[in-house]
Structures are given as C-alpha cells and as structure tokens.
Amino acid sequence: MGPTKGKSGIHGFGIFAKHSHRAGDMVIEYTGELVRPSIADRREHFIYNSLVGAGTYLFRIDNERVIDATRAGSIAHLINHSCEPNCYSRVINVHGDEHIIIFAKRDIKQWEELTYDYRFFSIDERLACYCGFPRCRGVVNDTEAEEQVSKLLVNYSELIQWTGE
C-alpha cells in the first residue's frame, strides 16, 4: 500500500503516508523518463516554466542523467521539499539497473506528508521555502554547496584575457 496524493500545507499537492513507516523503510520509487541534462534544461526553459502554477518534476541523478516525471512516472514526483525532511532519496542498483528510491529517514506516522531535502542547486536562482520547520533555511536551495562553489568562481574583472600564446 503506497502513499497517496493530497493537498499539501507546504505547496500545491504533496504525498502522504497511507500507513506508518519505520526509519529505513523503502517508501516509494521515483520513476519517469530518463533524459540527458541538456534535454531536461531545454524542456524546463521552453515548456515547463511557461506552464503557469506548475511545479517542475525533474530529478537530477548526476551530471549525465535526469529523470523527467512530468509526463510519465509514479506520484513520487509530487513529494515536496523540507529542510527537516522525513525521507531521503538514494540511487540503488538492482540487478544492474539503477532505481531512485525514497526511504524513510525516521519513523513516519500515518497521514504525515512525505518530504525530502531537494538540495536544489542554483548559483543565481533562489526558491523560497515554505516547509515551516524551525530550522528552515528559508530557501529550497542547498546554500552550503552553493557557497562552496561560489568561492571557486572568479570575478569577471579578475579574468586575464587569453591571447592564445
């Protein structure tokens, strides 16, 4: 008996536990269409961003692969972000095939909304977070990772013109 879709207190629709889970339980598989990041970026930029009110249903596995759950896949694509989530995602290998599984991070009661930390990464885009937890970062972004990467970026004025020599 998997989780079910419902109106969320965080954002739009979310998914809710139909029964209780113990920490470490597999809760649901995140499925969809496997695409390259360049395809996902183009779809997001040219199609999905223009669909008013719609969330984005893209799960970035790594630099080579993105799961696009917009048109195909399980209801896992409706899981909202929380800075104090009750679930986490892992890519696991089953007989040579990789699967994105959402696991319970702690014991979860029946009808709790399921959440995980999106660790949304964007140097120039901030997405306000409404998870409402005391330790909310205020943004869905992975601020720590972004800060680390921004330290590696050099100001344009500091760049040296390459003359090809």
d(Cα 115, Cα 151) in Å, to the nearest integer? Answer: 30
CB of 135 vs ligand SAM, minimal distance in Å = 13
Which residue's CB comes closest to ligand SAM?
12
Residues of this chain that bind ligand SAM (CB under 6 A): 8, 10-14, 55-57, 77-78, 80-82, 129-131, 140
CB of 12 vs ligand SAM, minimal distance in Å = 2
Q: What is the DSSP letter of 105?
A: S
Between 56 and 143, CB nearer to ligand SAM: 56
Q: What is the b/e burial string over 30-67, where b = at least 16 CB atoms within 10 angstroms of the residue's CB?
A: bbbeebeeeebeebbeeebeeeeeeebbbbeeeeeebb
Between 80 and 86, CB nearer to ligand SAM: 80
Between 81 and 105, CB nearer to ligand SAM: 81
Is residue 114 within 8 A of residue 86, CB to CB? The reply is yes
